[in-house]
Amino acid sequence: MNAATKDGASKTITTPVTAAKARELRAGEVVFLSGTVMTARDATHEYLLDEQRALPQSVVAALKHKVIFHCGPIVKQDPSGWVVKAAGPTTSARMNAVQAKVMQKYDIHAIIGKAGMQNVDWQKLDACYLAFVGGAAVLAKNAVTRVVDVAWLNELGMTEAAWVFQVEHFGPLIVAQDAHGSDLYADVLKKAARQAK
């Protein structure tokens, strides 16, 4: 099935998500993504910033698609290869301190996760934050059409390894923090703080 026609009203974007593509997305929009994404959580971000560590070829190739997915999936090895069983997003804020460095180093322009990030200058990075609804792991795994590769599985284990997924019509993804300075999470918090007074 053609992904773009599955939900006529929504925009489908394809990887690589370049700076230009990221700039086109506006906070509040709902989009779907097709292409290649790489999962990375806390330990993976540390690996990506470790100057002493050589990057596996699979990671180099995956990062060219310019999307990082904050996710620790459940994956099972079948005779046919790796099969994803559940793949919802993890809390992105844990990567707040290192996210910009990783994005600059590898020219990443889209982050998929949940609950948003702080102290990441999306405007300066020409990048956007795409929120997938937290915990909706079966919806997410249904968009994964193939496990392309995995890196650092022995070192980091299933949760933290860098999984490379081919995805089709992955979403709905809510553009929550955009390259123009809009931030839906910050808006909600501002309103909550005002009400308290």
Partner 1 sequence: MVDLKDAIADAMVQVIKLAATRVRKDVRNLIAAAAKEETNQLARKQLEYLLQNFELAAKECLPYCQDTGTIHVFGTIGEQFPIRAGIYAAIEAGIVNATKTIPLRPNSVDPISETMKYKDNTGPGLPDVSLRVVPGDMLELDVLLKGAGSENMSKLVMLEPIGAKERIPGIVREYMINAGGKPCPPVIIGIGIGGSASTCMGIAKKSLLREAGAPHPDPATHTLEIAIKDAVNSTGIGTMGLGGAITCLAVHVDTCARHPASFPVGIVVQCYAHRHARVRVEKDGYKTIPEEFYP
The residues binding partner 1 (CB under 8 A) are: 28, 30, 43, 71-74, 76, 85-88, 90-91, 93, 114-116, 131, 133-142, 156-160, 172, 174, 176, 184-185, 187-189, 191-193, 195-196
Q: Where does residue 140 fall: left (phi above 0), alpha (psi -120 to 50 degrees), or beta otherwise? A: alpha
Residue 45 annotated as catalytic? yes
Amino acid occupying residue 87: A
Structure tokens at 67: 């999307």
CA-to-CA dists, residue 104 to 5, 48, 126, 133, angstroms = 34, 11, 10, 26
Least distance to partner 1, CB of residue 64, Å:
25
Residue closer to partner 1 by CB (options 61, 74) is 74
Cα distance between residue 128 and residue 61, in whole Å: 21
Least distance to partner 1, CB of residue 133, Å:
5
CA-to-CA dists, residue 165 to 28, 29, 86, angstroms = 25, 24, 12
Q: Which is catalytic among the residues 45, 70, 109, 169? A: 45
Pick from 103, 87, 105: nearest CA to 95? 103
Strand partners, 150: 163
Residue closer to partner 1 by CB (options 57, 155) is 155
Least distance to partner 1, CB of residue 33, Å:
16
Least distance to partner 1, CB of residue 46, Å:
10
Residue closer to partner 1 by CB (options 26, 64) is 26
Residue closer to partner 1 by CB (options 121, 187) is 187
Catalytic residues: 45
